[in-house]
Amino acid sequence: MTVSEGPAVSPLLSVRGLTKYFGNFAACSGIDLDIAPGEIHALLGENGAGKSTLVKMLFGILEPSGGEILSSGQAVVIRSPSEARSFGIGMVFQHFSLFEALTVGENIALSLDPKFSLPRISDEAARLSHKYGLPLDPKAHVADLSVGERQRIEIVRALLQNPKLIILDEPTSVLTPQEADRLFETLLKLKTEGRSVLYISHRLEEVRRICDRATVLRHGKVTGRCDPRQETPASLARMMVGADVAGVSRSTGSVLGDVLIEVANLSVPARTPFAVSLRAIDMQVRAGEVLAIAGVAGNGQGELFDVLSGEYTVPENDAIRIRGKAVGTVGINARRMLGAGFVPEERHGHAAVSEMSLSDNLLLARSQPDRRSFLSGGLLSIVRHGSVRSAAKRICDDMDVRKSGDDPSAGSLSGGNLQKFIVGRELDRQPAVLVVNQPTWGVDAGAASRIRQALVDLARSGSAVVVISQDLDEIFEVATNVSVISEGRLSPSFAAHELSLEQIGLMMGGIHDSTHSEASHAH
Amino acid sequence: MRIELQKRAQPSPLFSFVSPLLALVLTLFFGGIMFWMLGKQPVDALYSFFVEPLLEVWSLHELAVKAAPLILIGVGLSICYRSNNWNIGAEGQFTIGAITGSILPVLYPEWHSLMILPLMLVMGMIGGALYAGIPALLKTRFNTNEILTSLMLVYIAQLYLDWLVRGPWRDPQGYNFPQTKSFVPEAVLPEILDSGRAHLAIVFALVAAVALWFMMRFMLKGFEVTVLGQSERAGRFAGFSAKRMVWFSMLLSGALAGLAGISEVSGSIGHVQPTISPGYGFTAIIVAFLGRLNPLGIIASGFVLALTYLGGEAAQLSIGISEKVSRVFQGLLLFFVLSCDTLIHYRIKIVTQKLRGGAAHHA
């Protein structure tokens, strides 16, 4: 973890003692950072380490509370993203800001000076996208594009400003391995042109593969600087979390029991123009089994979760069975009463209400299955706040949920801690069937490992677990069987140990049953 | 130097309490400036507007008469707004409730029975609820915006009332005045005390407020209202139906507005006439927000807004300014309530110094 104190050439962008307070909380404190021309610089850290706050200050979205930013050696104040662009900084956000109903060209034009005509912008965007190996059709509608293609729009949009530094926030979290490879080629090309890249990630393998230097943040402070190519993933992880991350222990060869959740030939038309239709889904999960459903975002994962949970019912009652009972037409609470538990992907506003306390959020999922302990007064349904609160406390203790105060609002917890609570809320009932969508999305390494272990343990104790995930590392950590979802179709399941990363990657790209070519984006 | 709003980590409990009081103080302050610009002594004018009405027993009764419909409608609206259903048409539901509730005494003026009053109240509630059911149906079936539909229905209700009292319901012995026969004594809502006009409506209002407070605070139904108001998706996850909540909240607030309407006609007016409300249904929106959408808070804010009506009348008499001033006060109050609420979630920070080395370079 010892490297030379900064590069010999004068840095493109430097940060000295940069600090940001939110109230009394220091999201970033005294950060020093140098980015040299023509380097790919990794910014590593767990969720909540201060990475996003730091880059928002660099891009003029947040104002620093202290410290300074130097562009080519001169102190500058960056007040807005447009000022950041004038200093040669471009940014590609983790969450895209694109209008789905508009075309690629129109979306790019919206972010540029209105004096350029749309055809000119489209031509320039097409030229740039081919030059950097990110083929894009400017006339395609964004709604029709895959997430990877949407990301290309954002990258091309940034490149059109001819930036000296491009900031990428978790760019590969939404890509297939093949798409990620392609992105890396683009980044290396940018590097050979002398542009710099600030690459934010918590995927250590990637950082080791493409980055020249890395700065590690923890709790808003720089805890390490290194050459990632000389580190191991384990040593990088140690810098990020400050302790060794526990690996998930998975028993192999356990005997599988009865089928606990079953889907038979289920087709569901898309609810909205931007949703995915489910096509002839077949799925069986037995007691003791963890079925992981791999796939790139937007291939029907959310829609599959909705019909499994019963948030949206289907007309054929027999199409879905939980513990042998047909449940296609019954709602989520009837399915919970049969012993099923559900963890949606989105924490805020779906799995939990951010403004409500943890105990209220416990009641959210369990008012009906735990009627007897949580409600009284017959038809009046009076909430027994005392017992709800003590159950919430039990869950927090079991799952090691770190929080401030006794019963804080869900929104005040970090992503990892809230996710532990949301998973713990279901585990607390010992569900016979658990369906989880993206269990560790945006969750720090420590919480992720705890959640994965809990899923494995639940299956081992005789439950059937369905894990919908885009994270292949996670899938191989927890799954006994793997299916792949692509364009609303679910592949047959394979034993996890018979599959390689490459095979899954190819199936995720949709190559298993169609000749869909990844470069053809004009549907 | 500039002023910045900084998000608080947690909503401030202090400002949740102080914000409405602060809004009141600001309203009085700017109201004083308004009086001064009208050429009146601000302190004297404010005194006759806000204090004098509280000094006599009869005007305290008037306060209760005016507060009753505001509280009844306001608590119903608070359930709507908490569940993210924006019923703006309480004035129309009030009017229709007054009409349906008056069917018996107007069409059967010879019927003397103790049954008549309870029946009138129930029919008023049903009328108000059904009228609020129209925007509910349009919203759940056709996804229309209930703000627009409920508001437009107000004018339909008012014109319908106007037509009724000038046409089929007009009292033949009424010297051509546009009003119905006076209600028989059995159809008049009784007064509570001998000392003044306050009638049972204020009791209904207090009972409704306490009952809904209990529901929101202790019952699963109240939890359902809050969850669906915060996030429809989370509500669906909890197994709650947003559509059923549209019906529940609209019918409930419509029924309470209808009850307010028939109580006003039966208790305060004694017959039906073209104008039966000085805008209670709209003012109740302010009442609901000033009361923090909390039924108990709405009791207090209902009396405050009732005072602006009384003060307007008093000010017209004693210092000779238009009673429309009360509308100005209501507007000021809503404006300051909503802006002071910002302080619950944000703190104000005045940024004076520049950052170290803060010489800006513009390209």
Q: What is the DSSP string of B143-158?
A: ---HHHHHHHHHHHHH
Going along chain B from its start, the domains and CATH numbers come out as: 2-351 (1.10.3470)
By CB atoms closer than 10 A (0-12, 13-18, 19+), residue A272 is exposed
Inter-chain touch A364–B234, beta carbons under 8 Å: yes
Task: Give the best residue of B2, B4, B224, B231 to mutate against chain A (max A CB count within 10 A).
Answer: B231
A379 or B103, greater pLDDT: B103
Is the CB of residue A383 less than 8 Å away from at least one CB of chain B?
yes
Minimum distance, in Å, between the CA of residue A271 and any CA atom of chain B: 15
Nearest to B220 among A68, A365, A381 (CB): A381
In the prediction, which pLDDT does A1 show? 41
pLDDT digits (tens, 9 = 90+) for B346-362: 888 887 754 444 344 44
CA angle (A263, A267, A270) in 5-degree steps: 130
Assess whether pLDDT exceeds 50 at residue A307: yes
Inter-chain touch A22–B7, beta carbons under 8 Å: yes
Q: Compare all CA atoms of chain B with the CA of A77 and give the residue at the minimum distance.
A: B360
Joined together, the tokens standing for residue A134 give 């990110």
Q: If we measure between CA atoms, which residue out of B277, B274, B280, B264 comes closest to residue B101?
A: B264
Assess whether pLDDT exceeds 80 at residue A202: no
Q: If we measure between CA atoms, which residue out of B284, B339, B273 comes closest to residue B309?
A: B284
Inter-chain touch A349–B231, beta carbons under 8 Å: yes
Inter-chain touch A66–B360, beta carbons under 8 Å: no
- DSSP assigned state of A514: S
Which residues of A fall within a CB distance of 8 Å from B6? 22-23
DSSP string computed for B188-232: SPPBSSTTSS-BTHHHHHHHHHHHHHHHHHHBHHHHHHHHHHH-H
pLDDT digits (tens, 9 = 90+) for A293-303: 988 777 889 99
Strand, coil or helix: A404: coil
Q: Is the four-CA dihedral B76, B78, B80, B86 of positive or negative sign?
A: positive
% of chain B surpassing 70 pLDDT:
96
In the prediction, which pLDDT does A9 show? 65
Nearest to A364 among B237, B354, B356 (CB): B237
- CB environment A457-468: b (16+ within 10 A), e (fewer): bbbeebbbbbbb
Residue bearing tokens 């939110």: A22
Q: Which helix (H) or strand (E) holds A221?
A: strand A221-226
Minimum distance, in Å, between the CA of residue A159 and any CA atom of chain B: 18
Averaged pLDDT, A322-331: 95
Measured in degrees and rounded to the nearest 5, phi and psi for residue B49 equal -75, -45
Number of residues that this document lists for chain B: 363
Task: Give the best residue of A18, A76, A387 to mutate against chain B (max B CB count within 10 A).
Answer: A76
Joined together, the tokens standing for residue B16 give 């949740």
Q: Compare all CA atoms of chain B with the CA of A363 and give the residue at the minimum distance.
A: B238
Which residues of B fall within a CB distance of 8 Å from A352? 234
Q: Compare all CA atoms of chain B with the CA of A21 and give the residue at the minimum distance.
A: B6
Assess whether pLDDT exceeds 90 at residue B103: yes
Q: Cβ contacts of residue A451 below 8 Å, gap of 6+? A: A419, A420, A423, A439, A440, A443
* Distance from chain centroid for Cα A349: 16
Assess whether pLDDT exceeds 80 at residue A48: no
Averaged pLDDT, A68-73: 88
Assess whether pLDDT exceeds 90 at residue B14: no
Assess whether pLDDT exceeds 70 at residue A234: no
In the prediction, which pLDDT does A510 show? 56
Task: Give the best residue of B8, B228, B236, B353 to mutate against chain A (max A CB count within 10 A).
Answer: B236
CA angle (A168, A171, A176) in 5-degree steps: 160
Nearest to B230 among A75, A356, A380 (CB): A356
% of chain B surpassing 90 pLDDT:
67
Other C-beta atoms closer than 10 Å to the C-beta of B320 total 9
Nearest-angstrom CA–CA distance, B149 and B138: 8
Inter-chain touch A75–B363, beta carbons under 8 Å: no
DSSP string computed for B79-145: HHHHTT-----HHHHHHHHHHHHTHHHHH-TT---TTHHHHHHHHHHHHHHHHHHHHHHHHHHH---
Is the CB of residue A364 less than 8 Å away from at least one CB of chain B?
yes
Inter-chain touch A412–B230, beta carbons under 8 Å: no
In the prediction, which pLDDT does A252 show? 52
Q: Are B183 and B104 in contact (CB under 8 A)?
A: no
Average pLDDT value for chain B? 91
Minimum distance, in Å, between the CA of residue A213 and any CA atom of chain B: 27
pLDDT digits (tens, 9 = 90+) for A89-144: 999 887 778 888 888 888 888 877 777 788 888 888 888 888 888 888 888 888 88
> Which residue type is seen at B317?
L
Q: If we measure between CA atoms, which residue out of A325, A328, A350, A329 comes closest to residue A339?
A: A325
pLDDT digits (tens, 9 = 90+) for B164-206: 999 999 998 888 899 999 999 999 999 998 888 999 999 999 9
Minimum distance, in Å, between the CA of residue A523 and any CA atom of chain B: 31
If phi > 0 it is left, if psi is from -120 to 50 it is alpha, else beta; for residue A443 that is beta
In the prediction, which pLDDT does B15 show? 84
pLDDT digits (tens, 9 = 90+) for B256-267: 999 999 999 999
Inter-chain touch B230–A67, beta carbons under 8 Å: no
Inter-chain touch A367–B357, beta carbons under 8 Å: no
Average pLDDT value for chain A? 85
Nearest-angstrom CA–CA distance, B205 and B130: 20
Helix pair angle (B146-166, B90-101), 10° resolution: 40
Q: Are A295 and A301 in contact (CB under 8 A)?
A: yes
Q: Compare all CA atoms of chain B with the CA of A24 and give the residue at the minimum distance.
A: B9
Least confident among A104-113, A190-199, A367-376, A415-424:
A104-113
Assess whether pLDDT exceeds 80 at residue A46: no
For the whole prediction, is pTM greater than 0.80? no
Other C-beta atoms closer than 10 Å to the C-beta of B190 total 10
Return the bridge partners of A467, or none.
Answer: A292, A436
Q: Are A227 and A214 in contact (CB under 8 A)?
A: yes
**CA–CA distances in Å: residue B315 to residues A345, B14, B52, B324:** 59, 34, 10, 10
Confidence grade of residue A223 (pLDDT, cut at 50, 70, 90): confident
> Which residue type is seen at A50?
G
Q: Cβ contacts of residue B172 below 8 Å, gap of 6+? A: none
Averaged pLDDT, A427-443: 91
Nearest-angstrom CA–CA distance, B164 and A490: 64
- CB environment A13-44: b (16+ within 10 A), e (fewer): bbbbebbbeeeeebbbbebebbbbbbbbbbbb
Confidence grade of residue B297 (pLDDT, cut at 50, 70, 90): very high
Inter-chain touch B9–A346, beta carbons under 8 Å: no
Minimum distance, in Å, between the CA of residue B236 and any CA atom of chain A: 6
Inter-chain touch B239–A331, beta carbons under 8 Å: yes
Nearest-angstrom CA–CA distance, A349 and A347: 6
Interface size between A and B, measured as CB pairs under 8 A: 99
Minimum distance, in Å, between the CA of residue A19 and any CA atom of chain B: 11
Nearest to A68 among B10, B357, B363 (CB): B357
Assess whether pLDDT exceeds 50 at residue A56: yes
Task: Give the best residue of B16, B344, B361 to mutate against chain A (max A CB count within 10 A).
Answer: B361
Nearest to A353 among B9, B231, B355 (CB): B231
Nearest-angstrom CA–CA distance, B156 and B144: 18
Inter-chain touch B6–A22, beta carbons under 8 Å: yes
Nearest to B230 among A79, A346, A355 (CB): A355
pLDDT digits (tens, 9 = 90+) for B140-156: 999 999 999 999 999 99
Q: If we measure between CA atoms, which residue out of A264, A491, A32 comes closest to residue A43?
A: A32
Assess whether pLDDT exceeds 60 at residue A5: no
Minimum distance, in Å, between the CA of residue A246 and any CA atom of chain B: 32
Assess whether pLDDT exceeds 60 at residue A7: no
Q: Cβ contacts of residue A496 below 8 Å, gap of 6+? A: A292, A475, A476, A479, A480, A481, A482
Averaged pLDDT, B312-338: 85
By CB atoms closer than 10 A (0-12, 13-18, 19+), residue B26 is middle
Q: Cβ contacts of residue B17 below 8 Å, gap of 6+? A: none
In the prediction, which pLDDT does A383 show? 94
Nearest-angstrom CA–CA distance, A391 and A409: 16
Is the CB of residue A311 less than 8 Å away from at least one CB of chain B?
yes
pLDDT digits (tens, 9 = 90+) for A454-468: 999 999 999 999 999
Nearest-angstrom CA–CA distance, B300 and A473: 58
Q: Which helix (H) or strand (E) holds A34?
A: strand A25-35
In the prediction, which pLDDT does A240 show? 72
Is the CB of residue A139 less than 8 Å away from at least one CB of chain B?
no
Averaged pLDDT, A328-340: 95
Which residues of B fall within a CB distance of 8 Å from A350? 231, 233-234, 237
In the prediction, which pLDDT does A246 show? 57
Nearest-angstrom CA–CA distance, A64 and A81: 14
Binding-face residues of A in 31-60 toward B, CB within 8 A: none
Q: Are A281 and A468 in contact (CB under 8 A)?
A: no
Nearest to B219 among A75, A77, A380 (CB): A380
Inter-chain touch A364–B8, beta carbons under 8 Å: no
% of chain A surpassing 70 pLDDT:
89
Q: If we measure between CA atoms, which residue out of A184, A179, A182 comes closest to residue A205?
A: A184
Averaged pLDDT, A46-65: 85
Nearest to B233 among A74, A350, A408 (CB): A350
Nearest to B360 among A77, A333, A349 (CB): A77
Q: Compare all CA atoms of chain B with the CA of A375 and give the residue at the minimum distance.
A: B220
Binding-face residues of A in 243-302 toward B, CB within 8 A: none
Q: If we measure between CA atoms, which residue out of A73, A78, A76, A75 comes closest to residue A6?
A: A73
Confidence grade of residue A515 (pLDDT, cut at 50, 70, 90): very low
Strand, coil or helix: A183: helix
Inter-chain touch A67–B8, beta carbons under 8 Å: no
* Distance from chain centroid for Cα A6: 32
Least confident among A4-18, A55-69, A384-398, B68-82:
A4-18
Which residues of A fall within a CB distance of 8 Å from B358? 68, 75, 77
Nearest-angstrom CA–CA distance, A151 and A309: 30
Q: Are A156 and A111 in contact (CB under 8 A)?
A: no
Which residues of B fall within a CB distance of 8 Å from A386? none
Inter-chain touch B238–A365, beta carbons under 8 Å: yes
Q: Cβ contacts of residue A106 below 8 Å, gap of 6+? A: A99, A118
Averaged pLDDT, B266-283: 94
